[in-house]
């Protein structure tokens, strides 16, 4: 169950209908999950605990009809690709893919396959697209050396991309991810924002959550990670956080960059310290037509900032509340967050007044 379903407070703004990224009109998400084998690691064979997730801002031809976009790198300890072009042009002109660190290039090759097929002029008399693949390291559970995600898996994820609801937890790129030494993965959330003239916009977020020590975990400010029994099963492997936010509001790339920066506010609420070794990348995209003049004043961005902070935090909590216990290579175990104990801990905490320091 999600923290929202459990009754926790998750911010002041109203969530969208599905409370996920696909609440943004036209946005689709597709997952390919690869789970095969068990037992000791045999590089190249498995066990396989990985996957790929595709996010499409619209279902048209992204190469021909790019979207305004911005990236913010809070912690650059990552190997995601496609960042400098977005910074330079303020545009994204390819599907957005997420996968494991060593499969970035196979996934990128899948996207190239897809785009070359879709656009015969690329590399002939038209410019090459900017391939965007984000990654986290799932090697604690997965045979990452085996590079089991293949180009056709990326193409399949793109083809599977559909309107919501978005599957969350151990799915797609999230299959093998860990968060706070618990099971992590994919999470998503959305918020509705009312513009100055009453026009309503949606902001949706999708995260790949794969970071942190158990002791870091905060839920609504409660040091849940410290109050739960130490998770004996899993050693810490530095991980990363990828945040993909999309809105239908006509924001400029300069404004989208400000939104991307605010993902840090949400990640902080979950207790993230953005530890060494973490690649914390945020991509923000607007689906508004490029021909529409950016019409939102900087002074109206407050609502978007709040939506980004709230959805980033809720998406991360969703990822760990909705993930399930998984055993991976070499018997490595990542437990699901124990929901009952977590609620008890939250109920009894009272800012430390009732419960004492952990």
Q: Distance of CA 141 to CAs 41, 75, 235, 273, Å?
A: 9, 23, 11, 23
Alpha-carbon gap, residue 258 to 268, rounded angstroms? 16
Distance between first and last Cα of the chain: 26
Q: Which of 76, 67, 199 is nearest to 130 (CA)?
A: 67
Alpha helices in the chain (DSSP H): 83-89, 104-118, 151-160, 224-227, 253-269, 302-322, 339-349
As measured in angstroms, the least distance from the Cβ of 254 to a copy of itself is 6
Helix (H) / strand (E) element for 54: namely strand 48-56
10 Å CB burial of residue 298 (0-12, 13-18, 19+) is exposed
Residues constituting the chain = 358
Helix (H) / strand (E) element for 71: namely strand 67-76
Q: Which is nearer to a copy of itself, 166 or 217 (CB)?
A: 217
As measured in angstroms, the least distance from the Cβ of 167 to a copy of itself is 26
Q: Which is nearer to a copy of itself, 25 or 352 (CB)?
A: 352
As measured in angstroms, the least distance from the Cβ of 24 to a copy of itself is 21
Q: Which is nearer to a copy of itself, 273 or 336 (CB)?
A: 273
Question: What residues contact residue 223 under an 8 Å CB cut-off, 6+ apart?
Answer: 215, 217, 271, 349, 358
As measured in angstroms, the least distance from the Cβ of 192 to a copy of itself is 15
Question: What residues contact residue 5 under an 8 Å CB cut-off, 6+ apart?
Answer: none
| Active-site residue set | 240, 278, 280
Q: Which is nearer to a copy of itself, 166 or 216 (CB)?
A: 216
As measured in angstroms, the least distance from the Cβ of 14 to a copy of itself is 11
Q: Which is nearer to a copy of itself, 27 or 114 (CB)?
A: 114
């Amino acid at each position: 169950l999600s923290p929202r379903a459990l009754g926790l407070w998750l911010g002041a703004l109203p969530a969208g209908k599905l409370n996920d990224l696909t609440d943004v009109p036209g946005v689709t998400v597709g997952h390919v999950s690869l789970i095969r084998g068990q037992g000791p690691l045999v590089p190249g064979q498995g066990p396989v605990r990985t996957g790929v997730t595709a996010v499409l801002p619209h279902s048209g031809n992204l190469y021909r009809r790019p979207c305004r976009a911005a990236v913010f790198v809070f912690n650059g300890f990552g190997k995601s690709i496609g960042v400098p072009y977005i910074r330079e042009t303020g545009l994204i002109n390819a599907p957005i893919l997420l996968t494991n660190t060593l499969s970035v290039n196979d996934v990128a090759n899948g996207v190239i396959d897809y785009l070359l097929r879709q656009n015969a002029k690329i590399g002939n008399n038209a410019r090459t697209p900017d391939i965007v693949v984000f990654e986290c390291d799932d090697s604690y559970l997965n045979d990452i050396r085996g590079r089991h995600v293949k180009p056709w898996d990326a193409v399949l994820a793109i083809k599977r991309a559909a309107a919501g609801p978005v599957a969350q937890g151990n799915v797609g790129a999230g299959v093998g991810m860990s968060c706070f030494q618990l099971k992590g993965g994919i999470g998503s959330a959305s918020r509705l924002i009312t513009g100055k003239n009453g026009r309503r916009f949606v902001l949706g977020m999708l995260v790949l959550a794969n970071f942190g020590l158990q002791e870091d975990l905060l839920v609504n400010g409660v040091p849940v990670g410290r109050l739960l029994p130490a998770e004996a099963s899993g050693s810490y492997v530095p991980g990363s956080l990828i945040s993909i936010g999309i809105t239908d509001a006509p924001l400029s790339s300069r404004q989208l960059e400000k939104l991307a920066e605010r993902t840090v506010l949400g990640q902080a609420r979950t207790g993230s310290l953005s530890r060494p070794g973490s690649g914390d990348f945020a991509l923000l995209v607007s689906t508004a037509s490029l021909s529409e003049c950016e019409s939102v004043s900087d002074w109206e961005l407050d609502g978007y900032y709040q939506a980004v902070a709230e959805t980033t935090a809720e998406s991360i909590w969703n990822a760990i509340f909705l993930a399930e216990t998984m055993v991976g290579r070499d018997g490595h175990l990542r437990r699901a967050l124990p929901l009952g104990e977590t609620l008890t801990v939250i109920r009894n905490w009272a800012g430390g007044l009732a419960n004492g320091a952990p």
